[in-house]
């Protein structure tokens, strides 16, 4: 049902000669296909596309926001790393058998890259080794002496041993790309009070000298594991493996799109269940809004969405952040998840590598095929309550049956969101939320739930139908900051409805509050709050709160 076909250029209803379409009225029109096709013409296809799957007048802004965000994600290079080092053997330093092994994507050109030895005594470089050539098909590039097995670049070198018979010490080794940027940093050995070398994650790898013999080395074990923690990633070893895998089963992730992860078998189970994947998307709900511990939030791209569950999230994560996530495909009660734990030697990771406007919700109807939109931000219009639990008081959950006139579905209110305790709608309302699932039995094709994130996700339909009402938020709306990035002062803009008081907090990426102000006596309309940082440059999170609404944004301070 998700398979779309490309027309020839001589057919009508085209996107600059090409359009992706389907004759199936339930088929999903993937935004990515529009992006591939090129400029969208005003003509519409004679084939059927249900309105909830593509409404160009409301979706173009979302599409181009996704282009900007996902372009950043796609452009991020795969990782190149130092993988094994054999250095400064005891007695005579025989550079013909010493080597440094680099691991990375096959075909990566290393011309202009360097390995730089860092003296722990003072922190200054003491040796720079120029690299040249491409990483071979097996992913291992070995630079070393002429007697090293599988050597790709014969360049004898001798990195310092950190320790000595007389005491502890530490040294470092950097891998820098052709622009001089450090892409991998290793500190090895225990530092004494006078040393300057701190490894990734605040820990150092081991130093086998002088207790180890001439065939002692340090290596990433399991092979090419990189958790950004030298102490966890590196071990001393006497199993020298230049150009070959180190000990331990290596982590081999599968790079996937969310639409791939969401593909199910006949029993409604993800075909990639248990697979360790690297996948990208845009955050649509803040960490901690559904669960404090463990983490549970959602992200999506233009085609699909999923739950992120149980992994450690970056500090200051906000809606609109573009993230690259490494985790295991799992399922719970029919809901597809990217889990923070799983088998093997792979390591969960979540990195923020961009920010964009949050995706706009996909407008659905009560009789839509909900499975296609699991994990995504959706919207229903003209909704009324027909049964289920009573509207929840503050501190309580509720499972409520609702309808939009086209079909019934479930509204799930979680007490962590703050939607609990708000007044029960007395008329038709428009509902925005995340499409989730809680089904106990295969084929997991029912029990879908829409979970609103904020009180502002439930608004009277009469207000939504009136553009003048939409222009004025119920309490307040954060309209962004200008300039941003900024180098002195930025102006935080917001529109006030009936909120007469707001509190503004600014946090650094360590979660420390660096500024706070309570704004009182506010009147409906546009307002500006000026902020001039007193601290260091970098990324800051601003949080604006009224009694019932919380909004966040990122501010980038540069000099």
Q: pTM for the complete prediction?
A: 0.62
Is pLDDT at 133 greater than 90 in this prediction?
Answer: yes
pLDDT confidence of 258, banded at 50, 70, 90? very high
Tell me: pLDDT of 467 over 70. Answer: no
Residue 106 clears pLDDT 70, i.e. is over it: yes
Give the mean pLDDT of 211-234.
84
pLDDT for residue 360 is more than 70: yes
The CB-side HSE value for 250 (13 A sphere, CA atoms) comes to: 14
Please say whether the beta carbons of 340 and 349 come within 8 A.
Answer: no
Lowest mean pLDDT among 152-156, 390-394, 416-420, 503-507: 416-420
> What confidence score (pLDDT) does residue 466 get?
55
Question: What is the model's pLDDT at position 290?
Answer: 83
State yes or no: pLDDT of 113 exceeds 90.
yes
b/e 332-350 (16+ beta carbons within 10 angstroms → b)? eebbbbbbbebeeebbbbb
Q: How many whole angstroms separate alpha carbon 139 and alpha carbon 247?
A: 16
Query: What pLDDT, on a 0 to 100 scale, did the predictor assign at position 553?
Result: 85
**Higher per-residue confidence, 103 vs 58:** 103
Superfamily per CATH, domain 472-557: Macroglobulin (MG2) domain (2.60.40.1930)
Position 211 scores a pLDDT of: 54
Residue 493: strand, helix, or coil: strand
pLDDT at 68: 57
Give the model's confidence band at 535: pLDDT under 50 very low, under 70 low, under 90 confident, else very high.
confident
Do the beta carbons of residue 511 and residue 316 sit within 8 Å? yes
Please determine, for residue 56, whether its predicted confidence score (pLDDT) is greater than 80: no
469 has a pLDDT exceeding 60: no
pLDDT of residue 380 exceeding 60, the answer is: yes
pLDDT at residue 24 in the model: 36
pLDDT at 3: 32
Provide mean pLDDT across the span 47-59: 37
Query: Lowest-confidence range among 119-133, 299-313, 323-337, 413-427?
Result: 413-427
Among the listed residues 154, 176, 195, the one whose alpha carbon sits nearest the alpha carbon of residue 82: 176
**What pLDDT is attached to residue 525?**
80
User: How much is the pLDDT for 147?
Assistant: 96
Residue 17 has pLDDT above 70, yes or no: no
Query: Rounded mean pLDDT of 411-430?
Result: 91
Domain 254-355 in CATH 2.40.30.10? The answer is no
Query: How deeply is 24 buried, as exposed, middle or buried, from its count of CB atoms within 10 A (0-12, 13-18, 19+)?
Result: middle
Is residue 53 within 8 A of residue 293, CB to CB? The reply is no
Mean pLDDT of 388-399: 94
Residue 364 pLDDT? 96
Q: What is the pLDDT of residue 508?
A: 87
CATH number assigned to the domain covering 81-237: 2.60.40
DSSP track, 210-271: TTS-TT-EEEESSTT---S-HHHHEEEES---TTS--SSPPP--EE--HHHHT-B-TTS-BT
pLDDT over threshold 80, residue 1: no
362-469 CATH:
2.40.50.140
Give span(s): CATH 2.60.40.1930, the chain: 472-557
Confidence (pLDDT) at 178: 93
Share of the chain above pLDDT 70, in %: 81
Please check the confidence at residue 350 and state whether its pLDDT lies above 90: yes
Q: Which of 479, 481, 459 is nearest to 470 (CA)?
A: 459
The contacts of residue 103 (CB under 8 Å, 6+ apart) are: 80, 81, 82, 83, 139, 140, 141, 220, 223, 224
Q: Is the pLDDT of residue 79 over 70?
A: yes
pLDDT, position 165: 54
What is the CA angle 351-510-513, rounded to 5? 135
Given a cut of 70, is residue 32 above it in pLDDT? no
Q: Where in the chain is the domain with CATH 2.40.50.140?
A: 362-469
Q: Point out the least confidently predicted range of 94-103, 165-174, 178-187, 509-518.
A: 165-174
Summarised one tens digit per residue, pLDDT across range 301-323 is 989 999 999 999 988 788 889 99
Q: Is 73 a residue whose pLDDT tops 70?
A: no
Task: Say yes or no to pLDDT of 57 above 90.
Answer: no
- Report the mean per-residue pLDDT for the chain: 83
Q: Is the pLDDT of residue 212 over 60?
A: no
Confidence of residue 55 (pLDDT cuts 50, 70, 90): very low
Do the Cβ atoms of 513 and 316 come closer than 8 Å?
no
pLDDT, average across residues 246-267: 91
pLDDT at 518: 95
Confidence of residue 91 (pLDDT cuts 50, 70, 90): low
142-151, 325-334, 450-459: segment of lowest average pLDDT: 450-459
pLDDT at 44: 34
Grade residue 373 by pLDDT with cuts at 50, 70 and 90: very high
| The pLDDT value given to residue 6 | 30
Domain with CATH 2.40.50.200 in the chain: 254-355
Give residue 194's pLDDT.
Answer: 82
Cα–Cα distance between 455 and 290 in angstroms, integer?
A: 14
- Do the beta carbons of residue 33 and residue 63 sit within 8 Å? no
């Amino acid at each position: 049902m998700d398979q779309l076909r490309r027309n020839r250029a001589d057919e009508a209803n085209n996107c600059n000669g090409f359009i992706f379409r389907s004759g199936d009225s339930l088929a999903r029109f993937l935004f990515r296909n529009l992006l591939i096709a090129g400029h969208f013409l005003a003509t519409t296809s004679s084939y059927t596309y249900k309105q909830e799957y593509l409404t160009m007048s409301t979706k173009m802004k979302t599409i181009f926001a996704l282009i900007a965000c996902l372009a950043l994600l796609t452009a991020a290079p795969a990782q190149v790393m130092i993988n094994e080092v054999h250095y400064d053997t005891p007695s005579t330093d025989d550079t013909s058998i010493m080597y440094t092994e680099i691991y990375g994507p096959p075909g990566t050109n290393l011309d202009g890259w360097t390995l730089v030895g860092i003296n722990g005594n003072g922190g200054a470089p003491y040796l720079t080794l120029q690299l040249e050539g491409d990483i071979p098909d097996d992913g291992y590039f070995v630079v070393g002496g002429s007697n090293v097995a599988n050597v790709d670049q014969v360049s004898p070198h001798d990195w310092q041993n950190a320790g000595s018979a007389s005491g502890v010490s530490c040294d470092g080794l950097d891998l820098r790309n052709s622009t001089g940027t450090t892409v991998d940093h290793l500190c090895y050995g225990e530092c004494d009070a006078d040393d300057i070398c701190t490894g990734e994650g605040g820990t150092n790898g081991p130093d086998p000298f002088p207790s180890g013999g001439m065939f002692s080395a340090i290596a990433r074990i399991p092979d090419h594991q990189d958790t950004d923690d030298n102490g966890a990633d590196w071990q001393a070893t006497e199993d020298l493996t230049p150009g070959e895998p180190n000990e331990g089963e290596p982590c081999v992730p599968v790079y996937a799109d969310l639409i791939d992860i969401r593909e199910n078998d006949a029993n409604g189970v993800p075909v990639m269940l248990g697979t360790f994947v690297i996948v990208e998307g845009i955050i649509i709900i803040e960490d901690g809004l559904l669960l404090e511990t463990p983490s549970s939030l959602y992200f999506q791209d233009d085609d699909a969405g999923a739950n992120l569950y149980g992994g450690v999230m970056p500090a200051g994560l906000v809606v609109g952040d573009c993230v690259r996530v490494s985790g295991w495909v799992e399922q719970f009660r029919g809901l597809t998840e990217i889990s923070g734990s799983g088998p093997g030697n792979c390591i969960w990771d979540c990195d923020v590598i961009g920010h964009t406007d949050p995706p706009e919700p996909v407008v659905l109807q009560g009789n839509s095929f909900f499975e296609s939109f699991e994990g995504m931000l959706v919207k229903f219009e003209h909704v009324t309550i027909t049964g289920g639990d009573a509207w929840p008081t503050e501190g309580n959950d509720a499972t409520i049956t609702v309808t939009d006139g086209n079909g019934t579905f479930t509204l799930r209110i979680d007490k962590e969101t703050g939607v609990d305790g708000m007044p029960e709608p007395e008329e038709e309302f428009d509902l925005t939320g995340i499409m989730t699932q809680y089904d106990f039995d295969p084929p997991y094709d029912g029990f879908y739930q829409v979970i609103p994130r904020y009180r502002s996700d439930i608004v009277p339909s009469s207000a939504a139908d009136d553009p003048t009402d939409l222009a004025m938020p119920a309490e307040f709306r954060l309209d962004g900051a200008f300039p941003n990035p900024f180098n002195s002062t930025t102006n935080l803009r917001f529109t006030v409805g009936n909120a007469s008081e707001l509190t503004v907090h600014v946090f650094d990426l360590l979660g420390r509050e660096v500024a706070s102000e309570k704004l009182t006596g506010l009147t409906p309309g546009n307002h500006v709050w000026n902020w001039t940082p007193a601290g260091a440059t970098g990324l800051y999170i601003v949080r604006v709160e009224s009694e019932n609404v919380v909004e966040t944004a990122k501010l980038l301070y540069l000099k």
